[in-house]
Each structure stands twice: as C-alpha cells, then as structure tokens.
Chain A
Amino acid sequence: MATELSPVSQIPPEFHVKVDHDQCRKCKRCVLNCSFGCMQFKDKVTPDHSKCVACHRCTTFCPENAISITDHPMVYKENANWTERIRQNTLKQAETGGILLTGMGNPKPYPILWDHLLIDACQVTNPSIDPLREPMELRTFLGSKPDKLEFERDEHNNVRLKTQLAPHIQLDIPVIFAAMSYGAVSHNVHKSLAIAANKMGTLMNTGEGGLHEDLYPYSGRIMVQVASGRFGVHSDYLKAGAAVEIKIGQGAKPGIGGHLPGEKVGLEISKTRMIPVGTDALSPAPHHDIYSIEDLSQLIFAIKEATDYMKPVSVKIAAVHNVAAIASGIVRAGADIVTIDGFRGGTGATPAIIRDNVGIPIELALAAVDQRLRDEGIRNQASLVCAGSIREAADVAKAIALGADACVIGTAALIALGCRVCQKCYTGNCAWGIATQRPELTRRLDPDVGSQRLCNLLTAWKHELQEVLGSLGVNSIESLRGSRERLRGIGLDKETLEILGVKPAGVGM
C-alpha cells in the first residue's frame, strides 16, 4: 500500500493574483465568476494563488479593473535544462504518480513554419485586383472530383453534363469549424458553432459525441463524426449530416483514445451519446473494425451505403511521419475528403507527453500529402483539409497555397467564444462556459452572442483572404490553391524548403 503523503503540495503556484483593495468595492463578482475556487471572500477578496489558471474571467468582470494576474514571482535557481515547468511536473508526478494531463494544443516553442512563409504580390507586370470593388471568390467545394468531365447533347442539341459528380459540400469560405464533441465542449458551444456555420456557409463538426436533437435543424451545415467509441452514431445521425467523418486520429493525441469522465455525462450528454448517465465514455485507441487500410475502405463504404452515396466521407488522421503514404491509401480507399491534423492541434484532454512530442507540423504534412497525391495523379479524387493550429487568416492563405482545399479552426473559434487558452479544459471548470458541463457555467455562453462572435471572426478573415488574393492579382481561391510559386520561405533549411515545395525568399520566378 502506498504511503499517505502530506496534504500540502510542494508545487509553487504558477500565477499571482493581485487585488487592488483601494479600488475594490467588494461587489464579489470575481468570486462569483471564478470557477476554479481561486477567488474567495474573507472580509475582502482573498485569492488562493495556487488555484489561479489565468483564465481572465475575474479581471474581465471586475467593474473597477482592480485585479491583475502576473506570473508568480517565485524565483527558481536558473537552469536552462531543468526548466521551471519540468521541475513543477516532476513534483506533480512525485505527488500523484499520474500521467500529466493537459488541454489545448502543443504549447512548446517548436518552429512555426507558417511564420517562415511569405506571400507574393503583384507589381507592374500583372495588376493587383481590388477586392472591395471587384469580385473575389472564395467558394470552395469539398468532395471527390473526377479528372475530367464528359458531356453529351440532348434532343435540342444542347450540351449537357454526362458525368455524374460525387456529392460535394459547398463552402462560402474555406474555413470550417473543428471537430469538438458535445461533452468536451458545452451544448451552447455546439449551438453557437451550428448557427455560425449556417450563417456563414461553412461547416461545424460534431466531434465524436453525437449530435444533440436540438441541433438537427442545422445539420445541413454539420459534419457528423464516427469515431472509435461510436457515441451517438445511428442511421438518422449519419443521414442528417452534410458529410460524415471517420476519425482515425487527432493531432493532439495521435494513436491514443479518449476518455470523457462519467461526472460529465449528464442527462443531455447521455441522450446524445446514447449511454447511461454517469458512465465513463471511453474511446478506444483504434477503431476495432479497422486494423488495416482495407478495413478503412470497408467502413467508408458502409457509411456510403448507409447514406445512399449522398454524402462525402471524410477521414481524419493525425499528421505522423508517414502521413503522405497514409493519405494516399485513404484516398485510394475511397475517402472524398482527407483531413490532416497537425501536431499543434488542440484537444479537451490529452496526456502531455503525447501532445508535446508526437506527430509532425501540419505545414510539412500538408505539403508532403498534396505533392504525393499529385505525383500519384489522384489529387482530384479527394479534397484536402488541414487542421492543427490555424491561428489567423494568413495561416489559411498559406495553407491554401501549399495545397489545402480548406482549413479547420478549433482553438481560434473557441478564443472567439471567450477561451483564454488556459489549458484547463480537462478539469471541466471552464469559467467561460466552453469546456464544461456545469450548468451554472455553460449558461455563461449565450449561443446568439457566441454565434455572432464566430461570424464576425469569419467575416474578418474572409475580407483578409480577399485582400491577399487581390494583392496576388487573382480573383478566385482556386488560383491560389496549390500555387506554391506564390510563397517564399525565410529562415528555412534546404530540406524543409524542398518538402514545402517553396523557394527561398530572394529567389525570383
């Protein structure tokens, strides 16, 4: 039997909460808003620094601006190798014996290749185009395209399309919302995403936790996911979605399963996931009907049969070392869309060791996959969707130029809803009502407000993408898509440039 340790933790607090008591008028809003138990009231507001996660909820709602949060002024003996974070984690594991759990995407300072790519612009030899006055098209279709079209003539000698096209989803902006399950996020998050996706002509994705019945009216703009846990998967669910996604892996946790703790499985989640209230929802690491590529094909076509070949089927994988060959196999297995999630992609909960050390950056994965599919002459057969830390419209433009058909945003969408990336999603205490099921917290997010904020974000990005296209002198997104000639690398080594298919800055055409 393990020895009982002292109840006092040796781990120093991460943050320091300073309350300016001259300004504080003791309204206790901070105490009410704090969902992590940090802000307490004992004659005056008295923070427990060790519980602060820097979620900004208290500072945002303090009417007097009396609260500030800083790094805890605790000094550690300087050591470039034994960083503060490593020492804290070691203490944590010594106290608990557990796997370090975390949320959101990989925070480590790996090179962010988006920030090493620069975009071209027109000067003299071809004109830039004014995106405000002239047409600037972002319309995108996700789905499998043939290499060529065939035509025939009808009785009036009019040309008609003979080729039967595979099903497609039309997007008005090549940015879709990431798969985030009901369970990992609240119902109001799902609803905000669904409303925004409908308004903006894009997609939300259920994630693996099923689709709540309230959201079926929005399902024309919802991609429904089938993951290894098969939560909430039934024929109506498959038929309701605009597309179906088979989730093989996730950038934040490639190769491992998931675990929604029973305490989060309340009545509504239970109904949606179709499991009893209070039971743990376990997602196995693999799909146990997919142990090989031909099994994937079998599941793809099982879904196509179930949906009468009316919906594109996406397969989502994490970006791992052999991603190009895997993606090629997925296309050949019959997927209409391949979604690749890079190693900086987000999550509600994952072991830090996996999140921070497994997988490869989306920039390289995307470039390798697009080129591989072209080399094999099968690039048309599937759309390529890229995920895993698309932070801003510039990342979208660069991803499209590398070859993506569309980009996925998860964290960016959550930030629009209020998320401060405190990485405590797995605790279920999200003060912004996002990654929580506690009713007093979830009601903090009003879906009307949330959806409007998401629409604003996408509208802003849409204008920004149009500005980029205009400066490139093209008026349609397909003229940027895969046009790596319009990118240049800065501060990248030769091999990286080769994989990206991009010339170094300073080299002309």
Chain B
Amino acid sequence: MVMTIDAKGMYYRELNKMIRTAIEEGETEFVLDNINGQRYIGDAIKAKAKITIHGTPGNDMAVFMNGPTIEVFANGQDGIANTMNSGEIIIHGMVGDVIGYGMRGGKLMIKGDVGYRVGIHMKEYKTQVPVIVAGGCAGDFYGEYMAGGVMILLGLGAGEDKPIAGDYLGTGMHGGVIFLRGKVEEYQLGAEVAVMELDEKDLKLVTTYVTEWCEHFGHDVDEIMSRPFIKLKAVSSRPYGNLYAY
C-alpha cells in the first residue's frame, strides 16, 4: 500500500506526525504531493521506508534520518541530510547550503548544483561511510572539515575552463576523499588538502557511484567517466600540530 498525502498548505508538524504514525503502523511507502517548504521531512525516522516528494521540501530534510529512502522531484533547500545516519536521498534538482553537515552514513544523490559548505564535517566510522554525489557545481567551502566519507562532484554544465567548485575547497579536511570531475585552481584549495591522481581502486569506486547516479538521473556513464577526475585528500590527519605553544 502506498500512502499518498496532499500536503498543500499543511503545517510540517501535522505532516510529519502523519508519516511517523503511519510508519509505526507498518506503512513503508509514501507519496507526498504539493509539498512546499515543510521542514524536517524524514527527521530521525528509523525504518525502511520510501518517501517520494513532489514539490520543494523545507529545511533540514532527513535530519538525523536513519534508514528511509527519500526521492524529491524538485529542488531541495538548506540543511539536507544534517547529521544523517543512514538511508538514501535522491534529489532531481539542485540544493541549497550546508548539505550533509556531520553526515555519518547513507547516500545523497543530487542531480544539479549544490550550495555553500556541502559535506561539512562529514565523518565515517567503521562500516559507516557517507556518500554525496552531485551532478553540477559547488559553492565555497565544499568538504570543509571533512573527516570521512566520499564526495563526488561531476561539474556537468560547468564548461571547460570554469572551476567546478568554489574557494576554500576542502579547508580543514582531515579525512575522507573528494573526487572532482573537472578543474580547480591551486588557490582554491584549503591548506590541508593535496591533489592526487586516482588509482585503480579509486576509479572503481567512482564508477560504481557514478553508475548509480546515472541510473537515477539518466546520464551516460561512459560519457561522464570519459573526462578525467582528480582526487583530493587530506595531507595530514592532524593539520594543526604546530599551531600551539605549550
């Protein structure tokens, strides 16, 4: 059974309560129509469930989410996948700022551009490895404080010469890995990261996620993979060792 909710004019508390209650009662699939601006959809839901959203969901979508799959057929706003633990999010559009803040697991597939401070302080622990794949370009502070996980930025539609991410790229990064399909200038990089070439293992990893991304958004994998990627990694897991006097 699919539970369809017409969310037109509905306040977020009412909406989220309906979803939570239904999940407790065993519902696993939701279609939310006429969503516009309702916050916290999927907040802390710990269950296997699929939520399909038509319309622009509000801030903090999938905050603390722990399991469900959310697919959005519109743009997303700020704060998606904030401190998310597991689950999957597919967004057929672009998203705002501070995406995947402190994300510690699960997957976030975005068709278009991402805003500022994406993947900020993403972290991994044992088998929990968060992943963000975005098809477009990113604003400044992409991967700020990144401590773990994988971020892939495809830069589709960026043009040949334009950097695909903003400045302060990977600033404060001390773990995890970023793969960029396209160009960034040396000055854009945070002091803590270095550009590297992809080895075979990396390439396999990227191909896996790009294939998945293409399945969602209907691009050709080979075409995307035909352009070279670069890899960004932290130079040190303790970049500030010399900063303090004792």
Contact = CB atoms under 8 A, between A and B. Distances in A.
| A–B proximity contact (CB within 8 A) | yes
A133 interface: yes
A132 B144 contact: no
B192 to A, nearest CB: 8
A134 B245 contact: no
Interface string B230-246: 00000000001001010
B245 A460 contact: yes
B243 A133 contact: no
B214 to A, nearest CB: 33
A134 B145 CA distance: 10
B141 interface: yes
Interface in B128-172: 141, 144-145, 168, 171-172
A133 B172 contact: yes
A135 B168 contact: yes
B243 A463 contact: yes
B141 A134 contact: yes
A133 B190 contact: yes
A130 interface: yes
A135 B141 CA distance: 10
A247 to B, nearest CB: 35
Contacts of B190: 133
Contacts of A132: 172, 240, 243
B235 to A, nearest CB: 14
Interface string B166-192: 001001100000000000000000100
B168 A134 contact: yes
A133 B170 CA distance: 9
Interface string B71-115: 000000000000000000000000000000000000000000000
B171 A134 contact: yes
Contacts of A135: 168
A460 B240 CA distance: 13
Interface string A113-138: 00000000000000000101111000
Contacts of A133: 141, 144-145, 168, 171-172, 190
Contacts of A130: 172
Contacts of A134: 141, 144, 168, 171
B243 to A, nearest CB: 6
A134 B116 CA distance: 12
11 contacts: A130-B172, A132-B172, A132-B240, A133-B141, A133-B144, A133-B145, A133-B168, A133-B171, A133-B172, A134-B144, A134-B168
Interface of A: 130, 132-135, 460, 463
List 9 A-B pairs, minimum CB-CB distance, nearest first.
A133-B172, A133-B171, A133-B144, A133-B145, A132-B172, A132-B240, A463-B243, A134-B168, A460-B245
